[in-house]
Amino acid sequence: MLEELAGGGNGLASLGRMLSLDDSEFWKGALVGAAAVLLLTNESMQDMLFKTGARAKEAVQSGAGKLKETAAAAKTEAGS
């Protein structure tokens, strides 16, 4: 890049090669990073994520409780 600048160029071609701007993995990473920044810095998005997480936790706990009840009932019936 320095050689290009010394030769009178603007350095953008070298910068593009260095960052591999034509690489799809670069753009996937850039999009994921931008989405993460948006989610982590936006208060309303944070509230929505925390509420969704709380609902998911409640659903898992409820399902686990029902599974325990079913297992206990099956064990009781098998013991009779």
Domain of residue 60 covers: 43-80
Share of the chain above pLDDT 90, in %: 20
**Residue 49 and residue 34 share a domain:** no
**Residue 28 and residue 47 share a domain:** no
* The total number of structural domains that make up the chain: 2
Task: Render pLDDT for 26-55 as a digit per residue (tens, 0 to 9).
Answer: 789 889 999 999 888 989 988 988 899 999
**Residue 50 and residue 80 share a domain:** yes
- Neighbouring residues of 45: CB distance < 8 A, sequence distance ≥ 6: 38, 39
Q: What is the pTM of this model?
A: 0.43
**Residue 47 and residue 17 share a domain:** no
**Residue 23 and residue 47 share a domain:** no
